[in-house]
Chain A
């Protein structure tokens, strides 16, 4: 990354957090998925066309993430109500977390907050112990796809097999 204070780098422990995931007040965060890889997909906003594509794509790709037992969490500064409508519209079943109050706190902790007041389009893959295994920052208007995430999950699986063997 060009910004020295930019996106969190591999090898660092991932800051734990808990954010609202549903309108009835349920919270979730990476700590709840310890023992599994976690994919954090920060994105600028619900409803912007690229985001729609990106989150919808991750829903369609869910069987592939499942093969690595990975949990996928989408995160933006939108409210939980916006997330709910967006998820219904796009058929998204994985949690979309509201980094809404204090605004962008989690995105800031990961170095994924922009001066526009939105999350950057950033991907962070955590290993099962909660350390950052891979991170990637995209331009806001570029959908990064899922291949980088799947490559990172595959490397995690291989590394662990090597350690276990």
Chain B
């Protein structure tokens, strides 16, 4: 079977209840982000996604899935697990935001301070991260991404179609508006 320039452009892992979702549940457009908390390009996209949700409130919701490239980003895995630990306490998005707003402070000491700053229990969460309590969850996100053709971070899917454009706010607005019109 030859596959000339096959491009897998569709999300193969549907959004479910176990996903982290931000924005209106019944929004007509869903953006799924595969991200790495230590990736600078994800960090650059973060404020734009924030603005996107604000400017298209009710139209778009954001799903975040983990895609840590741990061999390049040594703190990506522990950051992802810390976000899950916060998520287990109903605080996923606060941790997510803190991580993207403190990308140069993801080492264990600063991470612990961040957890504390959010009013979460640093010792408990530190222990959970240490014993990789959420490794399976993070891995499941990663593998689903791999099978959907995620080839780096961030990768976005807009209503299940891979977004191959840029991550500047106008690009994101255009992609969401186009999806909302179809």
Residues of A in contact with B (beta carbons under 8 Å apart): 1-2, 9-10, 52-54, 56-57, 59-61, 63-64, 90-93, 134-139, 143-148, 150, 155
A154 to chain B, nearest CB (A): 10
Interface of A is mostly: mixed
In the complex where A56-B71, A60-B69, A60-B70 touch, is A145 in contact with B6 (Cβ < 8 A)?
A: no
**Cβ-closest chain B residue relative to A61:** B146
- Pull 15 A–B residue pairs with CB atoms less than 8 Å apart, ordered by A: A53-B151, A53-B152, A54-B151, A56-B69, A56-B71, A60-B72, A91-B71, A91-B72, A135-B2, A136-B3, A137-B4, A145-B8, A145-B151, A146-B146, A147-B147
For residues 132 through 150 of chain B, which have their beta carbon under 8 Å from a beta carbon of chain A? 139, 142-143, 146-150
A28 to chain B, nearest CB (A): 20
Inter-subunit contact B4/A1 (CB<8 Å): yes
A143-B152 Cα distance, complex, nearest whole Å: 8
A10-B2 Cα distance, complex, nearest whole Å: 7
Residues of B in contact with A (beta carbons under 8 Å apart): 1-6, 8, 68-72, 139, 142-143, 146-152
When distances are taken between beta carbons in the complex, the residues of chain A under 8 Å from B70 are 60, 91
Inter-subunit contact A147/B146 (CB<8 Å): yes
A145-B139 Cα distance, complex, nearest whole Å: 17
Inter-subunit contact A143/B151 (CB<8 Å): yes
A10-B4 Cα distance, complex, nearest whole Å: 12
Partner of A145, one of B1, B3, B142, B146: B146
Inter-subunit contact A145/B149 (CB<8 Å): yes
Inter-subunit contact A150/B5 (CB<8 Å): no
Partner of B71, one of A2, A90, A136, A146: A90
